[in-house]
């Protein structure tokens, strides 16, 4: 009887507690759908650009390529999937149809497909092979299909909208579950010289009919937004909400796309797309230009660590395989991330909050270190400022802090600060704005017994799901290699007291290579590789590589005006020359006749005056001019302003070269030039 009485009393107490338990916070503002929540949990996945451009060595094909050029000799989609899986990625999105109109499956809506290619005698289907490979490795599968089509004869007419809707339906219905449908925002002329008025409602309906659980990236019917650049960075402030209007589309208002909008009416989280190489498609000329580990880590912290998802492009080569340089770097990135976040110091610490919702155990601070995203700490509705203290019990070193909001209730936090101390005396070490699904703060390593997070402002009562405190290995700063106009190469590194070793014969630098101590003369051009060494040569940076053509010592400009014109030919891409208004040409005098294999144009990052279309002329005497390029384009330079390499079909002998801007990124902008160079 006594035991029964005790049980009844306990049950009564639990019932009373349950009755007095506070209600969860009401959702605030725009909130994500369950599919969007699952999407944000993916964090990191692979983009694959593959098609005729891989074989023609261009970024944007013109649609008139012979489809037989597409002929990978060793295509292995399982290799792609295995590398993605080993890299820690959760999915692969493939360019099933890029702007050139070439379909990686035998589409009945086109005559520009793998069916017409040499690959597998026209009997191949890359979407089939890749979707099967993704399922085999437990990866999700996504499809990129550009609505622009530079090949299809109906592009620019009402008929094309039906063709494209059918193309979508065909791809989405035939290859299993698709987690994301990726629409490119490009809209240019077709083979008939006309632009297309896209029927977005019809395109959306095709997606919904065949893949109801696929999220849509791009276009006015999107559920995910472009971050506004192709450099790999979300805004320091990044709201997952946005209020769309006619001006905010995937090719404009980049600052808004990067930061979102506080109190936006739709949940439109940012996807951060960037390539592991300078371009989106494979080129053998970029085999030594794969982004460094330090750069990729910075991109990760600036995308996933700023409330975005990272879509990292890894383009297969002409064999149809991911190049060893790319796969090696991906494994290095996986290893560095695993090591950085291996030990959460907060999980073995005590944690307390100065406010807890209804003083209820259901919303306690300990929920933040239980590893369960769906348990969270929250305050009462009228409490928008609060602090959390994590006490390690003894001094610990740390340099990373991870915070996550419980986004099913909306994004709430507007600003917060981080302190370190002993529980009584505190010192501020970081301050930021938004959190969202995930925020990762980096700061110099500190040694402290405790860390405190102060939420200073929020749109509604804070609701956080996870906290992590980590110590990551600090990478050595990358080595920088620059050359003066006279041809003297300077090498430097921002790490503390490094020894820099270099080579000029193409070999990999080692601890036995020459020690850099003074500028290296390289007037005729060549390749320099360099590494920084510290700790008695026990640690080294990644190898930096720089290729130089002929030095610009004899060069001059014959038609330049205004201050700083020499910056266009100073061999320094970090300097820039902005042409005067109503001027659109620049003529370089080499001071001698040269045999040119091509030329380079370096745009100015962030400039609306970068050249999109151009004419190019050469001359040996300044009187007779030969046109080398007519209305040529630097494809995608608006979104990916990297150095452009233009190879000539035949060598050109000239002592002068004239670049004429036909069109800039933004009409009416003054022409901007970071640097002009030659390939000889």
39-77 tens-digit pLDDT: 999 999 999 999 999 999 999 999 999 999 999 999 999
What is the spatial distance between Cα 676 and Cα 28, in angstroms, rounded to a whole number?
Answer: 52
Q: 76 is written with which tokens?
A: 């292995």
Average pLDDT value for residue range 400-418: 98
> Whole-model pTM?
0.90
Q: Out of 276, 311, 338, pick the residue that ends a domain.
A: 338
Are 520 and 565 members of one domain? Answer: no
Task: Return the residue matching tokens 């849509």.
Answer: 216
Instruction: Specify if 220 maps to a domain.
Output: yes
Instruction: Give the chain's mean pLDDT.
Output: 92
| Number of alpha helices (DSSP H) and beta strands (DSSP E) in the chain | 10, 32
Mark whether 365 and 440 lie in a shared domain.
yes
Asked if 199 and 331 sit in the same domain, the reply is yes
Neighbouring CB atoms inside 10 A of 292's CB total 18
Structural domain contains residue 22: no
The span from the CA of 332 to the CA of 323, in Å, is 14
| β-strands 413-421, 520-521 pairing | unpaired
Considering the domain architecture, whether residues 39 and 180 belong to the same structural domain is answered as: yes
576 found inside a domain:
yes
Residue 63: CATH number of its domain: 3.20.20.80
Q: For residue 619, what is the domain's CATH number? A: 2.60.120.260
Distance separating alpha carbons of residues 208 and 211, to the nearest angstrom: 5
Whether residue 245 sits in one domain with residue 104: yes
Whether 16 is covered by a domain: the verdict is no
Q: What distances in angstroms separate CA 363 from CA 367, 418, 434, 469, one per listed residue?
A: 7, 22, 21, 20
Pair (258, 395) in one structural domain: no
Q: What is the pLDDT of residue 251?
A: 44
Average pLDDT of 290-294? 92
SS3 204: helix
Contact 217, 261 (CB under 8 A): no
141 and 167, same domain (yes or no): yes
CA proximity to 276, closest of 263, 265, 289: 289
The structure tokens listed for 65 are: 């390529």
Share of the chain above pLDDT 70, in %: 95
The pLDDT of residue 525 is: 87
The answer to whether residue 632 sits within a structural domain is: yes
pLDDT tens for each residue of 577-607: 999 988 899 999 999 999 999 999 999 988 9
Mean pLDDT value across residues 271-280: 96
Give the per-residue pLDDT at 1.
44
Helix (H) or strand (E) holding 420, with range, is: strand 413-421
Q: Is 10 inside any structural domain? A: no
353 or 642, higher pLDDT = 353
A 10 A CB-CB count for 358 gives: 14
Whether residue 191 is found in the same domain as residue 331: yes
pLDDT for 20: 66
Residue 535 class from Cβ within 10 Å (0-12 exposed, 13-18 middle, 19+ buried)? exposed
Work out how many domains the chain is built from and give that number: 4
Q: Could you tell me the CATH number of the domain that includes residue 534?
A: 2.60.40.10
Q: Are residues 446 and 561 in the same domain?
A: no
Domain boundary among 527, 548, 569: 548
Higher pLDDT, 186 or 614: 614
Q: What is the 3-state secondary structure (H, E, C) of 540-609?
A: ECCCEEEEECCCCCCCEECCCCCCCHHHHHCCCCCCCEECCCCCCEEEEEEEEEEEEEEEEEECCCCCCC
Distance of CA 462 to the CA centre of its chain: 30
Residue 145 lies in a domain: yes
Do 334 and 350 have their domain in common?
A: no
Report the SS3 class of residue 451. strand
Q: Which of 451, 470, 489 is the last residue of a domain?
A: 470
Cβ(416)–Cβ(456) below 8 Å: yes
Looking at the fold, whether 436 and 487 belong to one and the same domain comes out as no
| The predicted structure's pLDDT at residue 283 | 95
**Structural domain containing residue 536:** 479-548
3-state secondary structure 265-326: CEECCEEEEEECCCCCCCCHHHCCCCCCHHHHHHHHHHHCCECEEEEEECCCCCCCCCCHHH
**518 inside domain:** yes
Q: Which of 552, 478, 488 is CA-nearest to residue 520?
A: 488
Based on the domain organization, do 406 and 423 belong to the same domain?
yes
pLDDT bucket at 14, cuts 50 / 70 / 90? very low
């Amino acid at each position: 009887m006594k035991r029964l009485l005790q049980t009844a009393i306990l049950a009564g107490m639990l019932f009373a507690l349950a009755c007095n338990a506070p209600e969860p916070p009401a959702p605030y503002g725009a909130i994500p759908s369950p599919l969007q929540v699952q999407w944000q949990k993916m964090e990191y996945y692979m983009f694959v650009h593959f098609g005729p451009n891989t074989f023609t060595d261009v970024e944007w094909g013109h649609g008139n390529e012979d489809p037989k050029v597409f002929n990978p000799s060793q295509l292995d989609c399982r290799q792609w999937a295995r590398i993605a899986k080993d890299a820690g990625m959760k999915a692969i999105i493939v360019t099933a149809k890029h702007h050139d109109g070439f379909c990686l499956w035998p589409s009945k809506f086109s005559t520009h497909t793998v069916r017409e290619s040499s690959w597998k005698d026209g009997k191949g289907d890359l979407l089939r092979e890749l979707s099967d490979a993704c399922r085999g490795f437990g990866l999700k599968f996504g499809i990129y299909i550009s609505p622009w089509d530079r090949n299809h004869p109906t592009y620019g007419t009402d008929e094309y909208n039906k063709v494209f809707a059918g193309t979508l339906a065909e791809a989405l219905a035939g290859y299993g579950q698709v987690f994301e449908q990726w629409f490119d925002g490009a809209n240019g002329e077709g083979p008939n010289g006309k632009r297309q008025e896209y029927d977005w409602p019809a395109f959306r309906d095709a997606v919904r009919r065949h893949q109801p659980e696929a999220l849509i990236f791009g276009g006015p019917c999107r559920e995910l937004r472009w971050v506004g650049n192709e450099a790999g960075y979300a805004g320091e402030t990044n709201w997952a909400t946005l209020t769309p209007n006619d001006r905010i589309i995937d090719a404009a208002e980049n600052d808004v796309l990067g930061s979102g909008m506080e109190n936006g009416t739709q949940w439109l989280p940012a996807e951060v797309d960037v390539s592991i190489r300078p371009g989106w498609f494979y080129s053998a000329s970029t085999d030594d230009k794969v982004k460094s580990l330090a750069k990729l880590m910075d991109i990760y912290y600036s995308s996933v660590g700023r409330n975005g998802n990272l879509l990292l492009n890894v383009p297969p080569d002409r064999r149809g395989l991911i190049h060893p340089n790319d796969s090696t770097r991906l494994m290095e990135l996986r290893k560095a991330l695993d090591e950085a976040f291996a030990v959460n110091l907060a999980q073995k610490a005590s944690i307390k909050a100065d406010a807890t919702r209804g003083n209820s155990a259901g919303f306690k601070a300990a929920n933040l270190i239980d590893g369960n995203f769906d348990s969270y700490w929250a305050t009462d509705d009228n409490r928008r400022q609060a602090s959390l203290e994590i006490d390690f019990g003894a001094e610990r070193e740390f340099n990373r802090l991870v915070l996550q909001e419980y986004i099913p209730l909306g994004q709430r936090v507007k600003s917060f600060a981080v302190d370190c101390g002993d529980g009584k005396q505190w010192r501020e070490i970081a301050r930021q704005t938004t959190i969202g699904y995930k925020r990762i703060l980096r700061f110099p390593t500190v040694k402290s017994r405790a860390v405190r997070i102060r939420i200073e402002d929020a749109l509604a009562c804070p609701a956080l799901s996870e906290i992590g405190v980590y110590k990551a290995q600090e990478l050595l700063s990358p080595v920088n290699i620059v050359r003066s106009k006279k041809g003297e190469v300077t090498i430097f590194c921002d790490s503390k007291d490094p020894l820099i070793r270099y080579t000029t014969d193409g070999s990999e630098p080692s601890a036995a290579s020459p020690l850099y101590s003074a500028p290296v003369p390289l007037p005729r051009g060549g390749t320099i590789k360099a590494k920084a060494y510290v700790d008695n040569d026990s640690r080294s940076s990644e190898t930096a590589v720089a290729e130089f053509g002929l030095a610009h010592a004899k060069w001059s400009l014959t038609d330049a005006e205004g201050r700083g014109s020499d910056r266009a030919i100073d061999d320094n891409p970090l300097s820039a020359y902005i042409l005067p208004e109503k001027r659109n040409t620049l003529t370089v005098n080499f001071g001698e006749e040269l045999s040119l294999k091509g030329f380079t144009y370096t745009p100015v990052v962030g400039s609306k005056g970068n050249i999109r279309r151009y004419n190019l002329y050469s001359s040996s005497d300044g009187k007779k001019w030969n046109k080398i390029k007519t209305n040529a384009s630097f494809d995608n330079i608006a979104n990916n302003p990297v150095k452009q390499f233009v190879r000539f079909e035949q060598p050109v002998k000239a002592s002068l070269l004239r670049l004429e801007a036909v069109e800039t990124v933004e009409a009416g902008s003054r022409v901007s030039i970071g640097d002009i160079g030659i390939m000889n």
